[in-house]
Amino acid sequence: MPEPGAADALIAGLAFDADGLVPCVCQHAATGEVLMVAWANEEALRRTLATGRATFWSRSRGALWEKGATSGNALAVEALRPDCDGDTLLVEVTPSGPACHTGSRSCFGDDGGGVLGRLRATITARMAADPAGSYTARLLGSPRAYVARKVGEEAAEVLTEEPGSDALVGEVADLWFHSMVLLARDGRDPLAPLAVLRERHGGDS
């Protein structure tokens, strides 16, 4: 989040429309999934910057609204990034629940979020699937030691593959997948490590 002086510079650099509004694309800070789109005026942005919670302007009600104020499904703001023209704002957030009023994780459906988001959704869905018809379901239903051993086996294959080869890339993908399954089996979000990486590196690429 910007410091007070930087906040003034951010707002001054935005190209608000004729109604004094700018569209805000809310993106999951850890996964990159687009969660929702809303509008904000200067007052809403200053409220967001002051509280760290996403606040917008409701065009239908003609009033400010803080996302999650009544539902509890708030959006904690990690960063605000204007586009190259300053007429759209990317709002990187950590959601505390579904972003959509329908109960979906995203206003664009629960199958978004790129390949990692889709993989997480698949792993979650397989937790209730028939193990006979799904390798992922069999893993999730296996003893934890077995799943952890699979992660170790994939890590060993990463170490022994030819450096820079396509096979190495494939083994890294297998390692990621089995690690995500292990986290899901332990009751954790399979993408939780992304939030840890973001915290460690401060959102820098």
Residues in the chain: 205
Residue type, 76: A
Q: Is the pTM of this model over 0.75?
A: no
| pLDDT tens, position by position, 69-106 | 989 999 999 999 999 999 999 999 999 988 998 888 88
The CATH code of the domain at 4-95 is 3.10.20.810
Residue 69: CB partners within 8 Å, gap ≥ 6?
A: none
The DSSP code for 53 is: B
Q: Strands (DSSP E) along the chain, which ranges?
A: 22-28, 34-40, 55-58, 63-66, 75-82, 89-95
Strand pairing class (63-66; 34-40): unpaired
pLDDT at 1 exceeding the cut of 50 = yes
Cα distances (angstroms) measured from residue 81 to each of 10, 88, 199 = 9, 9, 17
Residue 3: CB atoms within 10 A of its CB come to 9
Q: Does domain 114-200 have CATH number 1.10.287?
A: yes
pLDDT at 109 exceeding the cut of 80 = no
- Percent of the chain whose pLDDT exceeds 90: 68
| pLDDT tens, position by position, 127-151 | 989 999 899 999 999 999 999 999 9
**Which is nearest to 33 in space by CA: 84, 108, 103?**
108
Assess contact for 158 and 171: CB atoms under 8 A: yes
Average pLDDT in the 24-31 region? Answer: 90
Sequence ranges of the chain with CATH classification 3.10.20.810: 4-95
**Is the pLDDT higher at 3 or at 66?**
66
When pLDDT is cut at 50, 70 and 90, the band that residue 2 belongs to is: low
- Percent of the chain whose pLDDT exceeds 70: 93
CA distance 146 to 10: 51
CA distance 88 to 82: 6
